[in-house]
Amino acid sequence: MSDIQHSTDDTIPFFPDHVKTEFYVVLGILAVVLIIAIAGFIKPVGLGEPADPLNTPLHVKPEWYFLSLYQILKKIPPMVLGIQGKTIGVVIPIVLVALVFVWPFIDSKADKSRRVYWIRLAFSIFAVVAIIALTIWGEVS
Amino acid sequence: MRFFSLKRFGMLFMLVIAVGLMVFITTHAQAISPPSSGGSGDPSSPDWTLSDVSSSPPQLIATPPPATQDTCSSCHILGQNKGLWTPLARWTLFGSLGLLFVFGVFRSASTWVTRSPWKPLTNRAVGWVDDRYKISEPLTKILKKPVPKYALHWWYCLGGITAFLFVVLGITGILLAFYYKPTPEAAYSSIQFIESQVYFGSAIRAIHHWCANAMIVMCVAHMLRVFIMGAYKRPRELNWLSGVLLLILTLVFGFTGYLLPWDQRAFWATTVGSEIAGAIPAIGNLALVLLRVGWNVTGDTLSRFYGLHVIIVPLATVAFMVTHFLMIRRQGIAKPL
B171 and B266 inside one domain: yes
User: Does residue B139 sit within a domain?
Assistant: no
Contacts of B265 in chain A (CB under 8 A): 48, 57, 61
Task: For chain A, count helices (H), then strands (E).
Answer: 4, 3
Q: Is B2 in the A-facing interface, judged by CB distances under 8 Å?
A: no
Q: Which CATH number fits domain A57-115+124-141: 3.40.720, 3.30.300, 1.10.287, 3.30.310?
A: 1.10.287
Q: Is the pLDDT of residue B236 over 80?
A: yes
- Of the pLDDT bands very low, low, confident and very high (cuts 50, 70, 90), residue B83 is low
B164 and B287 inside one domain: yes
Enter the DSSP assignment of A58: S
B289 and B213 inside one domain: yes
B97 and B211 inside one domain: no
Enter the DSSP assignment of B171: H
User: Does residue B146 sit within a domain?
Assistant: no
Looking at chain B from residue 202 to 221, which residues have their Cβ under 8 Å from any Cβ of chain A?
202-207, 209-211, 213, 216
Q: Tell me which residue range forms the domain holding B265.
A: 153-331
B97 and B189 inside one domain: no
Q: Do A8 and B146 touch (CB under 8 A)?
A: yes
Cα–Cα distance measured from residue B304 to residue B265, given in angstroms and rounded to the nearest whole number = 18
Which site among B141, B147, B172, B225 would you substitute to test the A interface, given the most A Cβ atoms closer than 10 Å to its Cβ? B147
Q: Is the pLDDT of residue A122 over 60?
A: yes
A22 close to B162: Cβ distance less than 8 angstroms = no
Q: Do A87 and B279 touch (CB under 8 A)?
A: yes
The ranges assigned to domains in chain A are 9-45, 57-115+124-141
Cα–Cα distance measured from residue B55 to residue B60, given in angstroms and rounded to the nearest whole number = 14
B207 and B266 inside one domain: yes
Enter the DSSP assignment of B148: E
User: ∠ CA(B325), CA(B331), CA(B337), 5° rounding?
Assistant: 110
Q: Which H or E run contains A128?
A: helix A114-140
Cα–Cα distance measured from residue B272 to residue B259, given in angstroms and rounded to the nearest whole number = 12
Can you say how many angstroms the Cα of residue B59 is from the centroid of all Cα atoms in its chain? 42
CATH code at B208? 1.20.810.10
Cα–Cα distance measured from residue B38 to residue B61, given in angstroms and rounded to the nearest whole number = 16
- The dihedral over CA atoms of B284, B311, B271, B275, expressed in degrees to the nearest 10, equals -10
* Of the candidates A89, A115, A75, A71, the residue with the CA atom closest to the CA atom of residue B278: A89
Q: Is the pLDDT of residue B31 over 80?
A: no
Q: How many domains does chain B have?
A: 2
Question: Using one digit for the tens of pLDDT, what is the confidence trace for B259-318?
Answer: 999 999 999 999 999 999 998 988 999 999 999 999 999 999 999 999 999 999 999 999
Question: Using one digit for the tens of pLDDT, what is the confidence trace for A106-115?
Answer: 988 887 788 9
B210 and B270 inside one domain: yes
- The Cα of A52 is separated from the nearest Cα of chain B by a number of Å equal to 6
B310 close to A120: Cβ distance less than 8 angstroms = no
User: Does pTM surpass 0.90?
Assistant: no
User: Does residue B130 sit within a domain?
Assistant: no
Question: Using one digit for the tens of pLDDT, what is the confidence trace for B57-66?
Answer: 555 566 655 5
User: Does residue B245 sit within a domain?
Assistant: yes
Cα–Cα distance measured from residue B227 to residue B219, given in angstroms and rounded to the nearest whole number = 12
Q: Is B191 in the A-facing interface, judged by CB distances under 8 Å?
A: yes
Four-residue CA torsion sign, B21, B24, B26, B31: negative
Q: Is the pLDDT of residue B72 over 70?
A: no
B162 and B252 inside one domain: yes
Of A48, A65, A103, the CB nearest to B265: A48
Alpha helices in chain B (DSSP H): 6-31, 75-78, 85-114, 121-133, 136-143, 158-177, 187-196, 201-228, 237-259, 264-278, 284-292, 299-307, 313-331
